Structure 1
Amino acid sequence: MKSKLTAVALAAVVVAGTAAAAVPASAATVKAAPARCHTADLKAGFATGDDAKPEMGQTTKQTQAFIWFTNQSKHTCTLYGFAGVDMIGAQPTDGTWSLARSAAKPEKLTLEPGATTDFSITLLPVAASTPQNEKFVPSKFVVTPPNETEHFTLKWPFGGQILKQDGATHPATYLNPVGL
């Protein structure tokens, strides 16, 4: 009886081994997930179309500016999270303002070669008559893609002033995750 069980068990191992060996190599190969997008893979800029321009002339509500990333590489890559954004002011008293992040949850994006995504910056414009110490006049934006250290420097093309809240806990000017 013992040798019969051993023979059955041995036959099962042989059959299982044969079945595993019969799987085609292409089916056993797992396609690697795309790597994250590096700064060198991307180009960036402000969306400047009529429907994308922030309403910097109004001073009663928030408005949005959009920055886009385009995958200029020859491979698919992913973006996840928030870009780093530092605004550099035009006035000597402005300095640099590192924008706070919204509470929105990021989603992982896959960018094929040539594909574009963007993110928004919510802004609170103020009137030109606002006291100088209460307004920030944007000049340049230093934009770092998520999980990167290299950045792009973009000239602010829209004019206007923003309510200066660079020390606020919950400022009315902040950025949203890439893709949202």
Structure 2
Amino acid sequence: MKSKLTAVALAAVVVAGTAATALPASAATAKAEPTRCLIADLEAGFAMGDGAKPEMGQTENQTQAYIWFTNKSKRTCTLSGFAGVDMVGAQTTDGTWSLARSSEAPTKMTLEQGDTVDFSITLLPVAKSTPQKEKFVPATFLVTPPNETKHFTLKWPFGGQILKQDGATRPATYLNPIGQ
């Protein structure tokens, strides 16, 4: 019985030893895949270019605001999925509105040092004459990168009001995945 166990143990060592030497030499020198971007790797802000500003003065159609993330670290990292976005209102009746996600499928974005990627928030502006209880007046946005727990606090720079639908199952104000 002892020789049978010794033979099995010896066979296991031989197989394990063979497996360890069976790796190609290129695998040992291959560059590791980038890991996800951490909040410490990123900067964030609202896109302010002419085509990026939401049309908050009109009230007939949805419009888009864009938030960007820039990789400020010295390493390559990835972002995938949806940011978390909570709008904090300027009116005492607004409170905080956690934006719903679109049905768009996210893609993985790889950011080299200095690269920027954005995502859009679709908004439904309303007229100033809309009753206060039906409008949300944005003041700040709490933006959490995907898979993070800390957020950036961004001041809303565009003015205007949004149709308040914070309890709706299919709101006209929602966010899209990173890169869209």
Q: TM-score if structure 1 supplies the norm length?
A: 0.86
TM-superposed deviation, 1:26:
4.2
What secondary structure is seen at the aligned counterpart in 2 of 1:32?
Answer: coil
Task: Answer with 96-105 or 23-32: which moved more.
Answer: 23-32
1:139 maps to what in 2? Answer: 139
User: How far apart, in 1, do the equivalents of 2:114 and 2:131 lie?
Assistant: 44
1:61 corresponding residue in structure 2 = 61
Matched, 1:84 2:84: yes
Shift of 1:21: 7.1
1:96-107 equivalent positions in 2, closer than 5 A: 96-107=96-107
1:164 aligned partner: 164
Q: Deviations over 1:92-143 (max 9, x none)?
A: 0000000000000000010000000000000000000000000000000000
Query: Larger deviation: 101-110 or 27-36?
Result: 27-36
Could you list the per-position Cα deviations for residues 45-94 of structure 1 after superposition, in whole angstroms to 9, with x for gaps in the alignment? 00011111000000000000000000000000000000000000000000
Change over 3 Å in CA distance of 1:170–1:74 after alignment to 2:
same
Q: Which amino acid aligns with 1:49?
A: G
User: Percent same amino acid among aligned pairs?
Assistant: 78
Alpha-carbon distance between aligned partners in 1 of 2:173 and 2:118, rounded to the nearest angstrom = 17
Give the partner amino acid of 2:65: A
1:32 match: 32
For structure 2, the residue ranges without an aligned partner over 5 or more in a row are: 1-19
For 1:50 and 1:28, the matched residues in 2 are separated by 48
SS at structure 1 position matched to 2:139: strand
Give the AA of the match of 1:147.
N
State the superposition RMSD in angstroms.
Answer: 1.8
* Structure of larger gyration radius: 1
Question: Gapped runs of 5+ residues in structure 1?
Answer: 1-19
Distance 2:90 2:104 in 1: 30
Aligned length: 162
Q: Which whole-Å CA distance do the structure 2 matches of 1:104 and 1:92 have between them?
A: 33
Separation of aligned partners in 2, 1:22 and 1:56: 62
